[in-house]
Amino acid sequence: MSQPAVSVTQLTKVFPVTKHLRLRRKGEKRFVVAVDNLNLNVREGEVYGLIGPNGSGKSTTVNLICGIFAPTAGSIKLDGIDLRSLRPDQRVDAGVARTFQNIRLFGDLTVWQNLWVAWRDDESEQGGRFSSWFGTSGSRRKRIQSILEFSNLGQRANDLAANLSFGEQRRLELARAYAAKPKLILLDEPAAGMNAEELQDLRDRILFLKENGVTVLLVEHVMELVMSVTDRITVLNFGREIAHGLPEEIQQNQVVQEAYFGSSENAG
Ligand SMILES: Nc1ncnc2c1ncn2[C@@H]1O[C@H](COP(=O)(O)OP(=O)(O)O)[C@@H](O)[C@H]1O
Ligand SMILES: [Mg+2]
């Protein structure tokens, strides 16, 4: 529990501002520092919250960790392994899984098939990747079945992902991330649009992941969820850390309240 699973050191991402090039006036900023010198140390099995106002660099941090973007500077390690030289698919093999702020599933595959393609072999399953669709090994079948139960999607196994309700699609996204047997799951606003019951279910699932040794980085605006499920939190504003600590410390932090809770228009 005390071993650092994820260590992010002086992570920085600068984007060129390409939009409205012709409208840009002299002296205007040509770059946006989306993530600015960020340090994170997440312990194994911890649920770590990353919060902050809209545009504060949360999704960019997730994208840097899973390899969608290359950092401008800084390093990212998982269990001491430097992830920077690994492609996104190699990072999945190294144990990094994620969900997206906007759901991304294979709509024309069934629920079962979405989980099947997300499957990641480990050393104990020789040849699993080459086993045919119908020849899916017993242990793999069993585990997919248990993931269907974990996500309460058992009744939907043979339905196309595109035909699921919004809540079911969100559950399938998390199930798919879990099917990759991750060490680390990155959740980018998983509670968006959820009702109270769905929130409670999501909370239970995050705690289940934690109990099963998965480390979770949770980006979320729904404070009720963040405060009830995270062990520690880092708060970003304009790409920079403005605070880190226990949920109750963050809740009482003046700087955070001004930046984040101060204006409701800011949150989003
Ligand atoms: N691909 C990109 N190209 C240029 N600017 C980007 C890109 N992605 C994000 N940004 C900018 O980086 C900043 C942080 O964005 P983001 O990480 O999406 O914030 P958050 O997830 O906290 O709302 C914003 O100013 C945003 O406009
Ligand atoms: Mg975002």
Domain boundaries, the chain: 1-95+182-268, 102-175
Q: Which atom of ligand 1 is nearest to the CA of 56?
A: 22
Cβ partners under 8 Å of residue 66, min gap 6: 88, 91, 96, 98, 186
Residue nearest atom 16 of ligand 1, based on CA coordinates: 57
Residues 119-154: pLDDT tens digits? Answer: 776 544 444 444 545 555 677 888 899 999 999 999
- Return the beta strands (E) in 100-190 as ranges: 184-188
CA of 77 to the centre of ligand 1 (A): 22
Is the Cβ atom of 66 under 6 angstroms away from ligand 1?
Answer: no
Choices 3.40.50.1950, 3.40.50.800, 3.40.50.300, 3.90.1170.50: CATH for 1-95+182-268: 3.40.50.300
**Ligand 1, atom 8, residue with closest C-alpha:** 60
Give tens-digit pLDDT for 79-125: 999 999 999 999 999 999 998 877 788 898 999 999 988 877 654 44
pLDDT in tens, 232-256: 999 999 999 999 999 999 999 999 9
